Amino acid sequence: MNTEMRHGRYFESGRKLFFGYIPVAELRGTWFQMGRQYGALQKEELVRVLRFAEKNPESSGRTGSGISGLKRFDEFYRGMAETCGLSFEQLRTVCSLEPVRRKPSDGGDPSACAVWGGKTPDGKVLLGRNYDSLPEFAEILDTLVLTVFHPADGANAVAMFNWTGCLYLTAGMNETGLSLNLGDGAFADAESGRIRTGWLLWEFLLNGNDLAALRRGFAACRPDASCLVGSADKNRAEIIDWRADEPSEASGAAPNADFPACAEKYKTDRTLFQIAAVPAEQSWYVKLKGQPEWTEIPLMNLLKGNGELA
């Protein structure tokens, strides 16, 4: 297990640090201000992701006249454009990588598992997933970044892990430990014109504190395409069958066997990274393809925003 931590640099109210192989960007302020911080701290990586998208047009798409359809995230990207040297239009291309990272025929669903009770040494809940993608994405594996957001509007602090410039939420945890992993589903029922699933998931973490709040959120709105969402708080995990054309359903996840064995069992040659959340500790464990060990990222104090590292 890699637990090494080192400091990077600061820009305005944001900072960059590293846990093992994983860069962490901690941001605070309005969404526009956080965008400025992110753009400055991740400038080189943003350019690399843009060049990758331009070279692989089949792996990127468009997201409409804005970025997300939600003002706060569009403001984030406008702030980013001020400090990273890319235009808003170029950032739209960067952002569009995540929703279309698989071809429709690819069939590469990420595998997930949940562990708790007698399946872990201390009984704590662990929610994990393997992230599979098109092979060419391995080229930008080192642009993955864990970002911690401290919104000035009073919403929960939220951590998310994705490609630099892609805020489409696929793995997230908030300051209460509430955690989400976005899986794949049956995209044949996709509804055009709706806000994309990964943007709606932000709302649940910004405003929710437990699985009950999540269920209410899933019941209140429909995604643009049906999908399975792994969710967990410090007490248990659930799988949400979030449907585009009918009410969502929540099912209790059965605790799997020990996580490392489960994660390795379902890993494929297209698995780019593996990630596991421990809500009670507010920690993430991440392993990138080709790396020999997992990196532990203690998020508790980062999410609390007290300036100290756990």
Where do the domains of the chain lie, and which CATH numbers do they carry?
5-105+138-252+292-304 (3.60.60)
pLDDT at 291: 85
Per-residue pLDDT, 239: 84
- Give me the mean pLDDT over the 277-281 stretch: 93
- pLDDT of 250 reads 66
Give CA–CA dist 91/49, Å, rounded.
Answer: 10
Name which residue leads in pLDDT, 38 or 7.
38
Higher local confidence (pLDDT), 265 or 246 = 246
Whether the predicted pLDDT of 130 surpasses 90:
no
Provide the pairing of β-strand 144-151 with 22-29. parallel
Give yes or no for a contact between 149 and 41, defined as CB atoms under 8 angstroms apart.
no
What distance in Å separates the CA atoms of residue 223 and residue 198, rounded to the nearest whole number?
Answer: 9
Amino acid at 297: I
What is the reported pTM?
A: 0.88
The string of pLDDT tens digits covering residues 183-212 is 765 444 455 677 888 888 999 999 999 999
Under 8 Å between Cβ of 201 and 222: no
Judge whether residue 56 has pLDDT over 60.
Answer: yes
Separation of first and last alpha carbons in the chain? 16
Q: Output the pLDDT for position 96.
A: 82
- Which has more confidence, 158 or 195? 158
Question: Distance (Å, rounded) from C-alpha 249 to C-alpha 129?
Answer: 20
Q: 123 to each of 46, 48, 108, 175, how far by Cα in Å?
A: 40, 41, 31, 21
Higher pLDDT, 215 or 205: 205
Report the b/e string of 201-221 with b at 16+ CB within 10 A.
bbbbbbebeebebbbebbeee
Average pLDDT over residues 236-253: 77
* pLDDT band of 107, cuts 50, 70, 90: very low
Arithmetic mean of pLDDT over the chain? 83
